[in-house]
Structure 1
């Protein structure tokens, strides 16, 4: 039988093994979190440098697209009104 194991008196856990597993799991979680932080930092840095290298900033592109959408919406509304205008 393994250390601290007994089927007659109930469920007993090998505490040194459980403690070691918990410690290793904690260390692994910390290393995983550190790795994920490093990956996020690298991606953010690469994204920032890519945005800086663009000829047209993203804000200008967003304003241009919004203006185009407003113009298209107005044109569609005007065309619909012209088509469905009542003779009254």
Structure 2
């Protein structure tokens, strides 16, 4: 029996290959996490630059859309009440 193998109910494990695979998996996970962090940083920077380059700030656009939605909702409610309150 080789020194780097163990027997457990007939299951042979090459310990050096197992350790090497674990090390490579760990290194790959660290590199993957570093790559994901770089991608997120690049996207955040690009998004921030895009927002700053806009003529109208996003908050103003959101306020305008909310105001329009409220007006449309009020108009719809008034139309519904006019339709359902009339005697037919």
Short-chain TM bin: 0.7 to 0.9
2:12 is matched with 12
TM-score, normalised via structure 1 length: 0.86
Q: CA RMSD in A?
A: 2.2
Within 2, Cα distance between the matches of 1:5 and 1:76? 76
2:40 is matched with 40
2:63 is matched with 63
1:80 is matched with 80
Within 1, Cα distance between the matches of 2:25 and 2:42? 26
Give 3-state SS (helix, strand or coil) of 2:5's partner.
coil
2:30 is matched with 30
Give 3-state SS (helix, strand or coil) of 1:13's partner.
strand
Give 3-state SS (helix, strand or coil) of 1:12's partner.
strand
Unaligned stretches of 5+ in structure 1?
none
Within 1, Cα distance between the matches of 2:77 and 2:5? 80
